[in-house]
Amino acid sequence: MTKSCQWNQLSLRRFSIMASAVGRICGARLLKNYGLVAPQVCQLSTGAQGWTKNRKLWLSTVGVVGSGVGALLFALEQSVQASGSEAHAPHQPWSHDGWFKSLDHASVRRGYEVYKQVCRACHSLQYIAFRNLVNVTHTEEEAKAEAAEAMIKDGPDEEGNYFERPGKLSDYLPSPYPNENAARAANNGAYPPDLSLICSGRKGGEDYIFALLTGYMDAPAGVVLREGQNYNPYFPGGAISMAQVLFDEAAEYSDGTPATASQLAKDVATFLRWCSEPELDDRRLMTIKAIGMFSMLAAVAYYFKRHKWSTLKSRKLAYKPVSKK
Amino acid sequence: MAIWAPVNRTLFKKTSTYFLVATLCTFFFERGLDMISLAIFEHLNKNKLWKDVKDRFKKKEVKKDEKTCK
């Protein structure tokens, strides 16, 4: 016997082992020849070809466990969440809430102005570049002017020195502190977080930010605050190192909107939602597109189903009982 | 059905013409769907998008410039 022949025999044996394994797993059902009429009888008759006892038991167990886990997850999500001490931010009627609602860009622009005049004193926004503002909150010229106002540290130059230059569109927004340690040292040991992704990073999103910014109050009796701390019921633990910064007229708007404290908070929350989710408008547009596309595909699928089933639905099966005689 | 039969005969029977029709239809369908979706989106979000809003901020700056000029 030649070598190739042996190889062939080997591979044949392997194949037969694999085939028998598949057969064992799927049972004989996979390869069974039902004949011409049987599948149609199966589908069309209401005959009592019920499930076996084992299968019934198995499926009902899966059903009970599955729905139990689902109900548990739903209940956990819907719970009152009363274990913490912090207040839960009430939901505000944001103009970008909803399937098709874009961000209010006037609000985003005003929010940027609030960030620039107030928040930037302590908080960085290091993942937003000036070019991101173009056609979102600023025209290209305005964004260029905005960038040129900021001094950006650059280098090293030909002599190896670092230098400062006016910003360009490609630069990211400059941070108020060179690093985290400097930020902590300047803020009583507390680190003002970067705001680029804060809206997605905090439970409650823009509702939380709005509630936090407008929710400062005197500490209730029994709450001890250390020096430099303030009381805010929406902040986990209640003691927050950031002082209240948004008061009426704390910032100035270039479109003349009255700068009340709640207006400032609402605009900066909208701006931070944009920072966390710059693609929000695109997603809303994509929703509309997807609905158009899939409704057309659904119509095609419906027609195709009717087309293919028309022969089956209009078919009649006649049984000729064999007479006993 | 008077229109359907010749269209079917001339365009859909041959693979080459059928392919061409499918490609062209895809192009126009895609453009059409994009434009309709965008129109709906802009209608629903009127006075919220940057192209509607930018004049509010621009005019102020122009006015300020005029004031400083005077």
- The CATH number of whichever domain residue B28 belongs to comes to 1.20.5.260
Residues A262 and A289 in one domain: no
Residues A255 and A294 in one domain: no
* A84 domain-assigned: no
Q: Given this model, what pLDDT does residue B58 score?
A: 76
Q: Is A122 annotated as a binding residue?
A: yes
Q: Is A26 annotated as a binding residue?
A: no
Residues A306 and A177 in one domain: no
Q: How much of chain B exceeds pLDDT 90, in percent?
A: 57
A168 close contact with B: CB closer than 8 A = no
Residues A253 and A302 in one domain: no
* A192 domain-assigned: yes
Residues A185 and A305 in one domain: no
Residues A119 and A240 in one domain: yes
Residue A39 has pLDDT above 90, yes or no: no
Q: How much of chain A exceeds pLDDT 70, in percent?
A: 84
3-class secondary structure for chain A? CCHHHHHHHHHHHHHHHHHHHHHHHHHHHHCCCCCCCHHHHHHHCCCCCCCCHHHHHHHHHHHHHHHHHHHHHHHHHHCCCCCCCCCCCCCCCCCCCCCCCCCCHHHHHHHHHHHHHCHHHCCCCCCCEHHHHECCCECHHHHHHHHHHCEEEECCCCCCCCEEEECCCCCECCCCCCCHHHHHHHCCCCCCCCCCCHHHHCCCCHHHHHHHHHCCCCCCCCCCCCCCCEECCCCCCCEECCCCCCCCCCCCCCCCCCCCHHHHHHHHHHHHHHHHCCCHHHHHHHHHHHHHHHHHHHHHHHHHHHHHHHHHHCCCCCCCCCCCC
Domain containing residue A299: 279-311
Instruction: Read off the pLDDT of each residue in A126-138 and give the average, rounded to a whole number.
Output: 95
* A272 domain-assigned: yes
Residues A178 and A307 in one domain: no
Q: At B1, is the pLDDT very low, low, confident or very high (cuts 50, 70, 90)?
A: low
The count of domains in chain A is: 2
* A36 domain-assigned: no
Alpha-carbon distance A123 to nearest alpha carbon in chain B (angstroms): 25
Residues A122 and A221 in one domain: yes
* A264 domain-assigned: yes
The count of domains in chain B is: 1
**Residue in B with minimal Cα distance to A137:** B50
Residue A18 has pLDDT above 90, yes or no: no
Instruction: Read off the pLDDT of each residue in A5-29 and give the average, rounded to a whole number.
Output: 57
Instruction: Read off the pLDDT of each residue in A73-87 and give the average, rounded to a whole number.
Output: 82
pTM of the model: 0.77
Domain containing residue B16: 4-69
Q: Is A119 annotated as a binding residue?
A: yes
**Could B50 and A137 be called an inter-chain contact, meaning their C-beta atoms sit closer than 8 Å?**
yes
| pLDDT per position as a tens digit, A224-240 | 999 889 999 999 989 99
**Could A109 and B53 be called an inter-chain contact, meaning their C-beta atoms sit closer than 8 Å?**
yes
* A51 domain-assigned: no
Residue A83 has pLDDT above 90, yes or no: no
* A209 domain-assigned: yes
| pLDDT per position as a tens digit, A287-300 | 999 999 999 999 99
Residues A113 and A213 in one domain: yes
Q: What is the CATH number of the domain that holds A273?
A: 1.10.760.10
Chain B residues touching A257 at Cβ < 8 A? none
* A74 domain-assigned: no
Residues A259 and A304 in one domain: no
Alpha-carbon distance B5 to nearest alpha carbon in chain A (angstroms): 20
Alpha-carbon distance B49 to nearest alpha carbon in chain A (angstroms): 6
More confident residue, A89 or A44: A89
